[in-house]
Amino acid sequence: MLDAALKLAEERGLDLVEVSSKSDPPVCRIMDYGKYKYEQSKKAHESKKKQSVIVVKEMKFRPKTEEHDLNFKVRHLEKFLKEGNKVKVTVMFRGREMHRTELGERVLKIVAEKLKDLGTIEQPPKMEGRNMTMMMAPIKAN
């Protein structure tokens, strides 16, 4: 059986390729293996080209960040969102600041308010240990 298949493939100038070795008997196919590999690599290249890489940029604040510094960092966040990146906004707490987490929420609300035209809140503010984080995604341009 195998000899006949090999002879048939050789007569046509093609290759005998094993498709499924687990079945009984193994399934084989007569094809141009070089052409098949080339088409597979082309498909992989096309699918890779259509992929979009999502980058997450992070900006860290403190609960007592002054207005000028806050505005400066918000301008950077605006740039990140315009480039199409997601943004993770973090407020770090130290020592006694842990008792005043509402100050961190206030900072995140201010940032979200200033960026509402460029991004939407993907994950609302939540505490993770000593940090309060919020995720924002860029608004899709139509």
Section 14-43 average pLDDT: 88
pTM exceeds 0.75: no
Query: Around Cβ 113, how many Cβ atoms within 10 Å?
Result: 9
State which fold the 56-138 domain adopts: Translation Initiation Factor IF3 (3.30.110)
Work out the average pLDDT over 77-95.
93
Evaluate the CA torsion angle 16, 17, 22, 27 in order and state its sign. negative
Q: How high is the mean pLDDT of the chain?
A: 89
The model's pLDDT over 32-85, given as tens digits with 9 standing for 90+, comes to 989 989 999 999 998 888 777 788 999 999 999 899 999 999 999 999 999 889
**Distance of alpha carbon 54 from alpha carbon 45, whole angstroms:** 19
**pLDDT at residue 142, rounded to an integer:** 39
Domain residue ranges in the chain: 2-37, 56-138
E strands of the chain, at which residues?
Answer: 15-20, 27-31, 56-61, 86-92, 119-128, 131-138
Q: What is the pLDDT of residue 137?
A: 93
Specify the CATH superfamily of domain 2-37. Answer: Translation initiation factor 3 (IF-3), N-terminal domain (3.10.20.80)
